[in-house]
Structure 1
Amino acid sequence: MLQVKQAKQIQGTVRVPGDKSISHRAVMFGALAEGTTEISGFLPGADCLSTISCFQRMGVEIQQDGDRVTVKGNGWFGLQEPTEKLDVGNSGTTIRLISGILSTQPFHTVLEGDESIAKRPMRRVVGPLREMGAKIDGRRNGEFTPLAIRGGELTGITYQSPVASAQIKSAILLAGLQAKGTTTVVEPTVSRDHTERMLRAFGIEIVQEGNSVSVQGGQSLKGRSIVVPGDISSAAFLIVAVMMVPNSKLTIENVGINPTRTGIIDVVKAMGGQIELTNQRIVNEEPIADIVVTHSELTGTVIEGDLIPRLIDEIPVIAVLATQAKGQTIIRDAEELKVKETDRIATVVSQLSKFGATVTPTDDGMIIEGSAQLTAAEIDSMGDHRIGMAMAIAGLAAPGETVIHNSEAINVSFPGFAQLLEQISQ
């Protein structure tokens, strides 16, 4: 249980935990590479620890000490058949990306996870992997876990993805690295490209043209050092906190500003928020900067179209922010929210309404009325880390004490969140 009191001011210079997406990939690619991979800035959250556990069970030597990880790669075909099921916990990234990798392996594996994973759609990945020749089965013909995968020889395909999803794209590209011929994924709009950037850092040749990305089969990865920047999805909660609490200013150091992830910055600027990027640089193909945020008066906006894939994980906290902007904020084209850890449209509406906010759900998003007078509330994260944190940020602007039940879910992506909030709040 997390208790949050109204804040009078947010001040300081802080760092957020390492990027979850990059941490997952650094471990996976390091395990498949030839040689040793040294990772610094790793996110020691529950999801990323699930990825480490899965590869350890396949014979990969991985040592983790806080945010430093050493992976002694076995090469692509050095993985061993696990003697038990691989448990991905709550991690959708782990199960979807590892499905692509296991589809190339000459052995049998069963993947399972927690109750949330058991409800999340898997056929969006299983379908194209089957087209490549993978033998995959699961509940409802592979729609849900557990998934049973017997890998083998694959053939490259051109896949027109119905949704912009980095997890779908990455699973297919990883399978394509050991498939015959060329594998191409075409998306309606470009999703997160951490896989493409990091594969290049590991020595893989990738061709990108517009919304399509291609890899040639038969390529191998070389171990290397990886520096993981701070996660902009975690920084988003602090950005919103500053915008919610008057007389606030905060510097968030060493944050990844990959353009496929910076939708939160674009939205805050469109609403009139003051955000400055300083000390910009490139590390391991990823752009990084310090983010300086100053409290500003905001106006409602419309969030839709190509912007949605660039901020899909930040929508719960953006909805919180919209309650304090002048006028109405409309979120459209965000059907993907329904298949996250919870149905985040329904969950945001139900929990934010407890604060006295007016939020109307739609088929593909929500409508938030601004200038709301929030009051402290008793909230349930529903086991969803981003819901728990978003509602804690709402509590900073609500007189009284807000209580977040099932707050342990926050450790999935932001260990130390409560302590950091206390540190910067006055």
Structure 2
Amino acid sequence: MSVTFEISPGGALHGTLRMPGDKSVSHRSVMLGALAEGITEVDGFLEGADSLATLAAFEAMGIAVEHPEPGRLVIHGRGLDGLQSPASPLDLGNSGTSMRLLSGLLAGQRFDSTLIGDASLSGRPMRRVTDPLTQMGARIDSTAKGTAPLHIHGNQPLHGIDYALPVASAQIKSALLLAGLYASGTTRITEPAPTRDHTERMLTALGAEVVRDGASVVLNGRPPLRGTALTVPADISSAAFFLVGASIAPGSDLHLPGVGINTTRTGIIDIPRPMGASIELENRHTQGGEPVADVHIQGQQLHGIDIPEALVPLAIDEFPVLFVAAACAEGITTLRGA
């Protein structure tokens, strides 16, 4: 039996819409808040399955977290050496970010730990993370295929390394930086292309000295981290759908307040603009080390462009919705280098 779907134009988009909190920043707020001395208050935390898996893992390692209302956390940090051995494996569900970043963080602990996940996460490759961590002195056992469960041995002295990422990956970079917190000497990571720098920004907000040296990120081991107030920006990836919707619907006038405009993720803004989109960034400011702005979009007729290759890494997660904009634009839009 066939099924027929009828799609009708929905009209213009008007009003003000608050996006959910950024997932990448939510993960890191829990991890680094737990490692800081004192209290870290988090507003805008994303109440999604992945970030809640990270939260549960740290609660299982002895971190007290108050949850007074949705989106708000009060994390009682215990310092770099304050985590406790969990009573059972840490189940991270489907969160690859949690597993990869925790691999680095737990490599420097005094206790053994095991990371597990669902069937999907258990099939994802982890050697791109575990191999450089091994170079730092970590001992991590995985399956013969290099997948989870990951058994991380404690009491392993870590040392800083100078590591060139074979592929651009914010998760691998972040895992090595988190291990670098516990390493002797200096950890230097060189990227083949820019990746999200949420970890570096939040480490700096908590008091660590993170140096950007060209394509490299440099961190000295055991910096003191101090609890602070963090506001998680609205997620630019979630905003992308409404941003494109308002751009292609004539007569639209939409405001998206408090959106994170981290320069490593603004392709969803920088690509539609030369297509003719009216996207203005208002009330620019910084919160928790992250650049934030209110995004104002008005509907316009778009036209096709050759997307600059330099912008491709900045919109790698948003191309499906950008293709909708391209389909509604006059002329041809060409993407290369993705």
TM-score normalised per structure 2: 0.93
Partner residue of 1:82 out of 82, 86, 90 = 86
| Structure 2 partner of 1:369 | none
8 Å CA contact 1:36, 1:223 repeated in 2: yes
What are the equivalent positions in structure 2 for 1:215-364 lying under 5 Å apart?
215-303=219-307, 305-334=309-338
Tell me how far 1:244 sits from its aligned partner.
Answer: 3.1
Q: Percent identity?
A: 51
8 Å CA contact 1:10, 1:242 repeated in 2: yes
Structure 2 CA distance, aligned partners of 1:122 and 1:56? 24
Partner residue of 1:18 out of 21, 30, 35 = 21
SS class of match (1:316)? helix
SS class of match (1:310)? helix
* 1:146 equivalent in alignment to 2:149: yes
Give CA-to-partner distance per residue, 1:305-345, whole Å, 9 cap, x none.
432321122122112222212233333333xxxxxxxxxxx
* Structure ranking higher in strand proportion: 1
| Structure 1 partner of 2:3 | none
Q: 1:305 to 1:138 in 2, by over 3 A?
A: farther
TM-score normalised per structure 1: 0.75
Tell me how far 1:301 sits from its aligned partner.
Answer: 2.9
Q: CA RMSD in A?
A: 1.7
Unaligned runs of 5+ in 1: 335-426
| Structure 2 partner of 1:377 | none
8 Å CA contact 1:300, 1:326 repeated in 2: yes
Whichever residue aligns with residue 116 of structure 1, its letter is: S
Give CA-to-partner distance per residue, 1:330-361, whole Å, 9 cap, x none.
33333xxxxxxxxxxxxxxxxxxxxxxxxxxx
8 Å CA contact 2:249, 2:300 repeated in 1: no
* Structure ranking higher in helix proportion: 1
Partner residue of 2:212 out of 200, 208, 211 = 208
Structure 1 CA distance, aligned partners of 2:121 and 2:190? 26
Unaligned runs of 5+ in 2: 1-5
Structure 2 CA distance, aligned partners of 1:134 and 1:326? 54
SS class of match (1:292)? strand
Tell me how far 1:304 sits from its aligned partner.
Answer: 5.8
SS class of match (1:331)? coil
8 Å CA contact 2:248, 2:302 repeated in 1: no
8 Å CA contact 1:92, 1:117 repeated in 2: yes
Bigger mean CA deviation after superposition, 303-312 or 95-104: 303-312
8 Å CA contact 1:204, 1:219 repeated in 2: yes
Bigger mean CA deviation after superposition, 3-12 or 132-141: 3-12
Partner residue of 1:41 out of 6, 23, 44 = 44
Tell me how far 1:296 sits from its aligned partner.
Answer: 1.5
Tell me how far 1:207 sits from its aligned partner.
Answer: 1.1
Give CA-to-partner distance per residue, 1:388-418, whole Å, 9 cap, x none.
xxxxxxxxxxxxxxxxxxxxxxxxxxxxxxx
| Structure 1 partner of 2:34 | 31
Number of aligned residue pairs: 331
8 Å CA contact 1:252, 1:292 repeated in 2: yes
Tell me how far 1:4 sits from its aligned partner.
Answer: 8.7
What are the equivalent positions in structure 2 for 1:92-111 lying under 5 Å apart?
92-111=96-115
Q: 1:89 to 1:329 in 2, by over 3 A?
A: farther
